[in-house]
A and B are shown apart, each in its own frame.
Chain A
Amino acid sequence: MNEVLILDVLLLTLALVAAVAIVRVRSLLAATMLSGIYSLLMALVWSNMHALDVGFTEAAVGAGATTVLLLGTISATGRLSRRTPSLDLRAAAVVLFTGGLLIYGTLDMPDFGDPHAPIHQHRVPKLLAQQVGKVPGRPPLGMDPPDPAHPHPRDDFNGHVPNTVTSLLAAYRGFDTMFETAVIFTAGISLVLLLRRRADDIVEAWDERERERDVQTPRPVAPVPQPPTRSYTAVGASAEPDDAPKGET
Chain B
Amino acid sequence: MSRRHPVTGAFQAPRLIEHQSVLRVSCKLLVPFIIMFAVYVITHGELGPGGGFQGGVIMAAAFIFYGLVFGASRLVERIPSRVTDFLMAAGVLLYAGVGLHNLLSGSNFLDYSALNPAHPSEGEALGMTLVEYGVGITVTSVFITIYVTITEPRFMRSKRENVKVTD
- Using CB atoms and an 8 Å cutoff, list the residues of chain A in contact with chain B: 52-53, 55-57, 60-61, 64-65, 68-69, 71-73, 75-76, 132-135, 138, 147, 150, 158-163, 165-167, 169-171, 174-175, 177-178, 181-182, 184-185, 187-189, 191-192, 195-197, 199, 202-203, 206, 229, 232-233, 235-236, 240, 244, 246-249
Q: Are A68 and B68 in contact (CB under 8 A)?
A: yes
Q: Are B47 and A159 in contact (CB under 8 A)?
A: no
Closest to B131 in A: A170
- A interface, over-half SS: helix
- B interface, over-half SS: helix
Per the 8 Å Cβ criterion, residues 99-126 of B in contact with A are 99, 109-110, 112-113, 119-122, 124-125
B45: A residues at CB distance < 8 A: 163, 166
Other-chain contact of B132, A71, A166, A185, A199 (Cβ < 8 Å): A166
Q: Are A196 and B81 in contact (CB under 8 A)?
A: yes
Quote the shortest CB–CB distance from B165 to chain A (angstroms).
10
Quote the shortest CB–CB distance from B97 to chain A (angstroms).
11
Q: Are A181 and B134 in contact (CB under 8 A)?
A: yes
Q: Could you give, for residues 30-70 of chain B, a 1 whenever the CB lies within 8 Å of some chain A CB and a 0 otherwise? A: 00000000000100011111110110011011001100110
Closest to B92 in A: A185
Other-chain contact of A65, B23, B64, B152 (Cβ < 8 Å): B64
Other-chain contact of A68, B20, B132, B147, B156 (Cβ < 8 Å): B147
Q: Are A132 and B124 in contact (CB under 8 A)?
A: yes
A191: B residues at CB distance < 8 A: 142, 145-146, 149
Q: Are A188 and B156 in contact (CB under 8 A)?
A: no
Number of residue pairs spanning A and B whose beta carbons lie under 8 angstroms apart: 198
Other-chain contact of A181, B50, B68, B138, B143 (Cβ < 8 Å): B138
| Most B CB within 10 A of own CB, among A57, A68, A244 | A68
Other-chain contact of B96, A159, A178, A232 (Cβ < 8 Å): A178
A69 to B119, CA, bound (A): 44
A177: B residues at CB distance < 8 A: 95, 131, 135
Q: Are B154 and A76 in contact (CB under 8 A)?
A: yes
Q: Are A163 and B46 in contact (CB under 8 A)?
A: yes
Other-chain contact of B88, A65, A189, A206, A246 (Cβ < 8 Å): A189
Closest to A61 in B: B57
Other-chain contact of B64, A68, A195, A203 (Cβ < 8 Å): A68
Closest to B65 in A: A68
A197: B residues at CB distance < 8 A: 152
Q: Are A175 and B110 in contact (CB under 8 A)?
A: yes
B122: A residues at CB distance < 8 A: 150, 159
Given A69-B147, A76-B153, A229-B164, check contact A181 B121 (CB 8 Å): no
Given A60-B57, A178-B99, check contact A76 B151 (CB 8 Å): yes
Q: Are B150 and A73 in contact (CB under 8 A)?
A: yes
Q: Are A192 and B110 in contact (CB under 8 A)?
A: no
A132 to B146, CA, bound (A): 36
Closest to B59 in A: A60
Q: Are A196 and B88 in contact (CB under 8 A)?
A: no
Quote the shortest CB–CB distance from B139 to chain A (angstroms).
6
Given A53-B51, A159-B119, check contact A75 B151 (CB 8 Å): yes
A184 to B146, CA, bound (A): 11
